[in-house]
Amino acid sequence: MDPTIPERIKGAERIACRRERRSNLELRIDVRDFHWKNILSVARSDAREWRNIETQDNNASDGHRISPTTRSSQRWKAPPNQWLKCNVDASFIDTREPSSAGWIIRDEHGIYKGAVQVQGNMVCSPLESELQAILMAVQFCWTKGYNKIIIESDCRKAIDILNDLVLHFDSFNWKREIRWWAEKIQNISFQWVKREANKVADSLARTPLHDMSSYCFHNYVPVFLTNLLHEDYVQSRFN
């Protein structure tokens, strides 16, 4: 259930109480004295109240889903004990070029468990590119038999779509396909992360594949990831 619903209810109740008190007062006033300017003033007041409550709801919702904007929120964080984390990203050039993707698996100690670079299909938008990358990452995690996995992406819109926080009809088929594969995994979570905490996956997605290949699994740490992985590992120790 949306954790902000109680706050929305309270906000609505506050407005209802104010309206009731105001209505009781207005009943004592002759209709002829209730000028159209007063009506406009009341309407503006109601609009301000709703806008303020909506702002509070959005802030509360963001605070629930995403940690506060602090220095630590821009760092990669290790998953909980016995969980794995899959950071995934995509690279989209245009609709005439195949989209590429990359993801990396690390455990609760920040230990490297493997990484993938892959060339996907041609898609119509950067959002579709991100959703395609997430789909391929989920499929990979299932083939590896992972049963506790966090899928982390810096594409907030894609994560919100998968978590039913926004509606996006153009992405319905992508969402359905991702959810179908996700249901095969015992415990899976989709989380948004700042771009600064997703640099390793970004590097995997943007680095060209060699020898005209379309898929590469890195069992060992590739050279171009060494510094980024070391940075994530060291910083995660201080979270």
Q: Quote the pLDDT of residue 154.
A: 97
Torsion of CA 172, 175, 179, 181, to 10 degrees: 110
The order of strands in the sheet holding 215-218 is 187-192, 148-153, 84-91, 100-106, 112-119, 215-218
Report the chain's mean pLDDT, rounded to a whole number: 81
Q: Quote the pLDDT of residue 181.
A: 98
Find tokens 């049963």 and name the residue: 147
Whether 174 shows a pLDDT value over 60: the answer reads yes
Whether 7 shows a pLDDT value over 50: the answer reads yes
Whether 184 shows a pLDDT value over 80: the answer reads yes
Q: What is the pLDDT of residues 8-61, one digit of tens each?
A: 545 555 544 555 555 444 444 344 444 555 555 655 655 555 555 445 444 444
Burial-class residue 144 by CB neighbours within 10 Å (0-12, 13-18, 19+).
middle
As beta bridge partners, residue 112 has 106
**More confident of the two residues 104 and 3:** 104
**More confident of the two residues 182 and 30:** 182
What CATH topology corresponds to 76-236? Nucleotidyltransferase; domain 5 (3.30.420)
Whether 111 shows a pLDDT value over 70: the answer reads yes
Looking at residue 190, the DSSP 8-state letter turns out to be E
Residue 86: which of 233, 193, 228, 237 has the closest Cα? 193
Q: Can you tell me the distance from the alpha carbon of 226 to that of 187, in angstroms, rounded to the nearest whole number? A: 29
**More confident of the two residues 15 and 163:** 163
Whether 236 shows a pLDDT value over 60: the answer reads yes
Residue type, 105: I
Q: Quote the pLDDT of residue 46.
A: 56
Provide the pLDDT confidence category of residue 211 given band limits of 50, 70 and 90: confident
pTM of the model as a whole: 0.69
Alpha helices (runs of H) in the chain, residue ranges in sequence order: 5-26, 36-65, 126-143, 156-162, 172-182, 199-206, 226-236
Residue 130: which of 101, 170, 150 has the closest Cα? 101
Q: Please tell me the least confidently modeled range out of 21-25, 101-105, 159-163, 215-219.
A: 21-25
Q: Can you tell me the distance from the alpha carbon of 232 to that of 229, in angstroms, rounded to the nearest whole number? A: 5
**More confident of the two residues 207 and 235:** 207
Q: What is the pLDDT of residues 63-82, one digit of tens each?
A: 333 333 334 468 999 999 99
Q: Can you tell me the distance from the alpha carbon of 93 to that of 91, in angstroms, rounded to the nearest whole number? A: 7
**More confident of the two residues 9 and 146:** 146
Classify the C-alpha dihedral 198-202-203-209 as positive or negative: positive
Q: Kindly list the domain boundaries of the chain, sorted by start residue.
A: 5-65, 76-236
Q: Quote the pLDDT of residue 74.
A: 81
Residue type, 221: V
- CB contact at 8 A, 89 and 201: yes
